[in-house]
A and B are shown apart, each in its own frame.
Chain A
Amino acid sequence: MAEAATGGAHPPGTATGDVPYAVELRGITKRFPGVVANRDIQLRVRRGEVHAIVGENGAGKSTLMKTLYGMHRPDEGTILLDGREATLRSPSDAIAAGIGMVHQHFMLADNFTVLENVVLGSEPTRGGRLDRATARRRITELSDRYALNLDPDVLVEELGVGDRQRVEIAKVLYRGATTLILDEPTAVLVPQEVDELFGNLAELTREGLTVIFISHKLDEVRKVADSITVIRRGTTVGTADPRTTTARQLAELMVGSELPTPGARSATVRDVPVLRLRGLTVASQGSRPAVDDVSLLVREGEVVGIAGVEGNGQAELVDAIMGLRPLADGSVELGDQDIADWSTRARREAGVGFIPEDRHRQGMLLDAPLWENRILGHQTRPPAVKGLFIDRRAARADTERIMEEYDVRAPGPDTPAVALSGGNQQKLIVGREMSASPRLLVAAHPTRGVDVGAQAAIWELLNTARAEGLGILLISADLDELISLSDTLHVMLRGRLVATLDPTAVTPEQLGGHMTGAHDGAAGAA
């Protein structure tokens, strides 16, 4: 901490050649079996600045940051910290060198208090006992100094996403970090929370700390960064000044070509209901229901989007529609049939396709070959199944067809699913669900964690299917995706649908306002 305060806060851009870079990477190369994840990386970060590293998914940003945080060692190249060469064998080394990491997926023990999470690994002790008083005092100091607004004695499981992220930042500051790495910190935040985070970051740099900010969201990067390094296909392709570079130029650097957008939309909505929810309520462990009196309608050829901060009942809503969770109240109608009492299998047989939010958990058998994954969810339907038996030959053949039609890149149907990249796994899932010609598709975060190419392909597929009359319920955290794909857009907050918006007229900021409840009672009409 003391170091940080005396480190001297250079206003961004004034660092001269005599001042060593806070972090400098020279020619870093990192190979994994069969893949070169990073090649000849060059990076120069000045003290006291927010330095953004941008690149699309899979470009090698995370690998690079893990190198810098000592989670693995580079095969080639050198790391310089404050001008001195450093060898980082483990995160402990990185921490000792003043580097802290805020992970994209929070590294927090839910059943521990904020205090316990923060001090873990560098606990103050007195006479062998954990000195909670000292710990509490230091955390409160940190919290006040950087406006983190933390209560040390609350259980982490009771905190929201934004609070958790600040706990992560506190963890890093508590260890005296002078350089903070934030890996995709805005991925889980709504626009308002993003602004708060940027406020926190400003506090940090004002105190002389250095922030390395990893992202693929160009607008945010241009807003917060003092300088930008672009990474593409595992290597650094250039640096940019956010004040003089347009988002377009950045994007071209990043992708090497045009950015995909969800594409133009023409109304294909027909007036035939596919899915109708009436007063759907799902109980939760707490006092408030997880899903509270939700009514909505999906028609043929319509994409109905559900926006919301994660954890506001979207997952439970999806589970309830798929029959994975019992209803406390209300009805689910598919076409003109009430399917509330049907099993998941019966619903799938009746024409409900499902793209789950976590494909590893719910969508695939990772250790099984692709052809078995083709059968998953379609165990009772041809072509892969004949009566009570499995038709292996037909399953393999149909898997090959899906691989061809949906551009799933894999050696063959006998390849285990785990060997595929996220994008190819997702394309297989989409292909599998489409192959059963569903009437309704429940798509939860269909492009999460896939590369740009696959994202464009999946958007294209959804649009085509919609044009052919498929009704789609789209749950997503990607506001651009929601706005551009949806015909109708609902906002979910604390288990309720709090607003229905016209996607052609709404901006991401307005949407974010509804998602956090800032616009309560002022819901715009569709």
Chain B
Amino acid sequence: MTALRRLGSALLAPAMAVVVAVVITALVILAIGENPGTALQVLLDFGDTPAQQTQSIVVILNRAVPLFLSGLAVAVAFRMGLFNIGVEGQYRMATVLAAGAGAAVALPGPLHVLLIIVVAMAVGALWAGIVAVLKVTRGVSEVISSIMLNFIALGTASWLLTGPLRGSEEGAAIITTTDIPESGWFPDLNGLFGVVGLAQPRSELYGFLLVAVVVGVVVAVVLTRTRFGFDLRATGMSPSAATASGVDARRMVIKTMLISGGIAGLIGLPDLLGDTRHFGTEFTAGLGFLGIAVALLGRGSPTGIAFAALLFAFLDRAAVPLQFADIPASVVTIIQGTIVLAVVIANELARQLNRRRAERGSGQGDPPADDGTSAGPGGPVGTRITDDRQEAGR
């Protein structure tokens, strides 16, 4: 009963947000003189033939996998009160270097893939580690530093692509790295469609889906069932209480950012290993920023993030068909942006409501709480550090 009610209140906020976003978008579409019904139809129209329909599902799933990983990367840091806005840069750096490494070596199948994964995770973790080190040693807000590192990563990646790792010929319109040999490809899951009796789609369903599921389960278990996860969440809820309980805040920042960056390193791999086989100027961009939206929509829980990623992928699929229906594709971005804004507002309202209900339930909470202010998870974007030692040490 209580579990059911808790689930209900957990779903309430995102559901409300999606409804609000849909209404706003409908109004926007009406305002430009098009029919929102048409847009809805396009969103829901997966195609006429069975093959087209499974193809639509594959497109959605293939898009959802990197979004899910990106959301996870953001959420891990978020749960301890850190804002890793640098996921974008972390995955760009990780993907270009993993593509380079994958193309440079020849190993037997599984090992080759494993090497690429390890390189990607290591690069992502190191890149995120810079943010962590700057935060704990120099007190630089992770928000600002990770944003700056995004630009640095984009510049560096573009230099690596045009310079040392260049694989395509001089003068080619699209510059790419050298293709990864077949031993480094990740097998697809199209066999599944045959097993469950669905038509074969045109494209391959990324096998990386399985990796994403495993990562999701591991993250869920670590966060909720382990000591480490407890320390992490405690730091997120109250840095001062966590420190007093014996959590080493600085070490926690570094560990969390390394994990977050490691997961961020995986974001580009579904596309890299399942489809393009190289990194290039046309490689999917913006996944890191969307990950922030996905993590917020999913309220930081792996299950929620999975649903959020599917929702975003579902919306993304409609971008091209929408244009055929004379509706600007950026409607999708507007829906997504509105959902995020609506969901953060709804989350906040739900949190206040829950608090009030809890206080009423036991009828004893001090009605006026001691502090008039509450710090958000990100903390201020200045130089404030969760660890009192820093101040004292200077």
- A456-500 interface (Cβ within 8 A of B): none
Distance, CA A424 to CA B247, complexed state (A): 25
Q: A419 to chain B: which residues have CB within 8 Å?
A: 358-359, 361-362, 364-365
0/1 per residue, B330-368, Cβ < 8 Å to A? Answer: 000000000000000000000100111011111111111
Q: A325 to chain B: which residues have CB within 8 Å?
A: 388-389, 392
Q: A63 to chain B: which residues have CB within 8 Å?
A: 367-368
User: Quick check: B367 and A324 within 8 Å, CB to CB?
Assistant: no
User: Quick check: B361 and A389 within 8 Å, CB to CB?
Assistant: no
Q: B367 to chain A: which residues have CB within 8 Å?
A: 32, 35, 37, 63
0/1 per residue, A435-452, Cβ < 8 Å to B? Answer: 000000000000001000
Knowing A372-B230, A379-B230 touch, does A418 contact B238 (C-beta < 8 A)?
Answer: no
User: Quick check: A35 and B244 within 8 Å, CB to CB?
Assistant: no
Nearest Cβ on chain A to B8's Cβ, whole angstroms: 16
- A33 closest partner in B (C-beta): B360
User: Quick check: B391 and A285 within 8 Å, CB to CB?
Assistant: yes
Interface centre among B225, B237, B241, B369 (most CB of A within 10 A): B241
- B356 closest partner in A (C-beta): A33
A362, A367, A385, A392: the one contacting B240 at CB < 8 Å is A362
User: Quick check: A421 and B248 within 8 Å, CB to CB?
Assistant: no
Task: Check if A364 is an interface residue, CB within 8 A of chain B.
Answer: yes
0/1 per residue, A321-333, Cβ < 8 Å to B? Answer: 0101110000000
Task: Check if B96 is an interface residue, CB within 8 A of chain A.
Answer: no
Q: A345 to chain B: which residues have CB within 8 Å?
A: 246-248
Distance, CA A158 to CA B241, complexed state (A): 28
Distance, CA A415 to CA B365, complexed state (A): 12
0/1 per residue, A320-359, Cβ < 8 Å to B? Answer: 0010111000000000000000011111110000101000
Q: B354 to chain A: which residues have CB within 8 Å?
A: 416
Distance, CA A362 to CA B238, complexed state (A): 8
User: Quick check: B366 and A422 within 8 Å, CB to CB?
Assistant: yes
Q: A221 to chain B: which residues have CB within 8 Å?
A: none
User: Quick check: B361 and A376 within 8 Å, CB to CB?
Assistant: no
Nearest Cβ on chain A to B136's Cβ, whole angstroms: 15
How many chain B residues touch A (CB < 8 A): the figure is 45
Nearest Cβ on chain B to A221's Cβ, whole angstroms: 23
- A92-147 interface (Cβ within 8 A of B): 105
- A137-181 interface (Cβ within 8 A of B): none
User: Quick check: A390 and B237 within 8 Å, CB to CB?
Assistant: no
Q: A380 to chain B: which residues have CB within 8 Å?
A: 227, 246
Nearest Cβ on chain A to B75's Cβ, whole angstroms: 17
Our count of residue pairs bridging A and B at CB distance below 8 angstroms stands at 145
How many chain A residues touch B (CB < 8 A): the figure is 64
Q: B240 to chain A: which residues have CB within 8 Å?
A: 361-362
Distance, CA A347 to CA B245, complexed state (A): 10
- B184-217 interface (Cβ within 8 A of A): none
0/1 per residue, A384-404, Cβ < 8 Å to B? Answer: 010011101000000000000
Q: B359 to chain A: which residues have CB within 8 Å?
A: 33-34, 418-419
Knowing A32-B367, A389-B227 touch, does A348 contact B246 (C-beta < 8 A)?
Answer: yes
Knowing A324-B243, A345-B247, A365-B237 touch, does A62 contact B388 (C-beta < 8 A)?
Answer: no
B241, B248, B351: the one contacting A361 at CB < 8 Å is B241
User: Quick check: B361 and A415 within 8 Å, CB to CB?
Assistant: yes
Interface-facing stretch out of A200-208, A235-243, A406-414 = A406-414
Interface centre among B2, B234, B369, B388 (most CB of A within 10 A): B234
Nearest Cβ on chain A to B20's Cβ, whole angstroms: 25
- A57 closest partner in B (C-beta): B366
Distance, CA A141 to CA B242, complexed state (A): 49
Nearest Cβ on chain A to B299's Cβ, whole angstroms: 13
Q: B246 to chain A: which residues have CB within 8 Å?
A: 343-349, 377, 379-380
Distance, CA A372 to CA B236, complexed state (A): 14
Distance, CA A378 to CA B231, complexed state (A): 11
Distance, CA A34 to CA B229, complexed state (A): 35
Knowing A344-B244, A362-B241 touch, does A410 contact B225 (C-beta < 8 A)?
Answer: no
Nearest Cβ on chain A to B176's Cβ, whole angstroms: 43
Distance, CA A343 to CA B250, complexed state (A): 12
Distance, CA A449 to CA B371, complexed state (A): 13
Distance, CA A342 to CA B246, complexed state (A): 11
- B212-268 interface (Cβ within 8 A of A): 225-231, 233-234, 237-238, 240-248
Distance, CA A392 to CA B225, complexed state (A): 8
- B376-394 interface (Cβ within 8 A of A): 388-389, 391-394
Distance, CA A290 to CA B247, complexed state (A): 24
Distance, CA A421 to CA B371, complexed state (A): 15
Task: Check if A363 is an interface residue, CB within 8 A of chain B.
Answer: yes
Nearest Cβ on chain B to A130's Cβ, whole angstroms: 25
Task: Check if A269 is an interface residue, CB within 8 A of chain B.
Answer: no
Distance, CA A372 to CA B232, complexed state (A): 13
0/1 per residue, A16-48, Cβ < 8 Å to B? Answer: 000000000000000011110100000000000
User: Quick check: A364 and B241 within 8 Å, CB to CB?
Assistant: yes
Task: Check if A84 is an interface residue, CB within 8 A of chain B.
Answer: no
Task: Check if B370 is an interface residue, CB within 8 A of chain A.
Answer: yes
Distance, CA A62 to CA B247, complexed state (A): 36
A35, A290, A322: the one contacting B363 at CB < 8 Å is A35
User: Quick check: B371 and A389 within 8 Å, CB to CB?
Assistant: no
User: Quick check: B364 and A421 within 8 Å, CB to CB?
Assistant: yes
Nearest Cβ on chain B to A376's Cβ, whole angstroms: 5
User: Quick check: A418 and B358 within 8 Å, CB to CB?
Assistant: yes
User: Quick check: A379 and B392 within 8 Å, CB to CB?
Assistant: no
User: Quick check: A365 and B234 within 8 Å, CB to CB?
Assistant: yes
Distance, CA A192 to CA B173, complexed state (A): 83
User: Quick check: B237 and A414 within 8 Å, CB to CB?
Assistant: no
Task: Check if A76 is an interface residue, CB within 8 A of chain B.
Answer: no
Knowing A376-B234, A415-B361, A418-B365 touch, does A322 contact B244 (C-beta < 8 A)?
Answer: yes
Distance, CA A385 to CA B226, complexed state (A): 9
Task: Check if A195 is an interface residue, CB within 8 A of chain B.
Answer: no
Distance, CA A157 to CA B226, complexed state (A): 43
Interface centre among B246, B351, B361, B366 (most CB of A within 10 A): B246
Knowing A283-B392, A419-B362, A420-B364 touch, does A377 contact B245 (C-beta < 8 A)?
Answer: yes
Distance, CA A368 to CA B236, complexed state (A): 11
- A377 closest partner in B (C-beta): B245
Q: B366 to chain A: which residues have CB within 8 Å?
A: 58, 421-422
A285, A362, A415: the one contacting B244 at CB < 8 Å is A362
Distance, CA A365 to CA B240, complexed state (A): 10
- B2 closest partner in A (C-beta): A414
Task: Check if A212 is an interface residue, CB within 8 A of chain B.
Answer: no
Task: Check if A375 is an interface residue, CB within 8 A of chain B.
Answer: yes
Distance, CA A376 to CA B2, complexed state (A): 24
Q: B394 to chain A: which residues have CB within 8 Å?
A: 285
Residue contacts A-B, CB under 8 angstroms, 25 given: A33-B360, A35-B363, A63-B368, A322-B244, A324-B243, A325-B389, A326-B389, A344-B243, A344-B244, A344-B247, A345-B246, A346-B246, A348-B245, A348-B246, A354-B244, A361-B241, A362-B244, A379-B245, A379-B247, A389-B227, A392-B225, A415-B361, A416-B358, A418-B365, A421-B366
Taking beta carbons and an 8 Å cutoff, which residues of B are in contact with A? 2, 225-231, 233-234, 237-238, 240-248, 351, 354-356, 358-371, 388-389, 391-394
Give the top 5 A-B pairs by smallest Cβ distance, nearest first. A345-B246, A377-B245, A362-B244, A419-B358, A34-B360
Given contacts A319-B388, A379-B227, 6 further A-B contacts (CB under 8 A): A283-B392, A326-B393, A361-B238, A363-B241, A372-B230, A379-B247
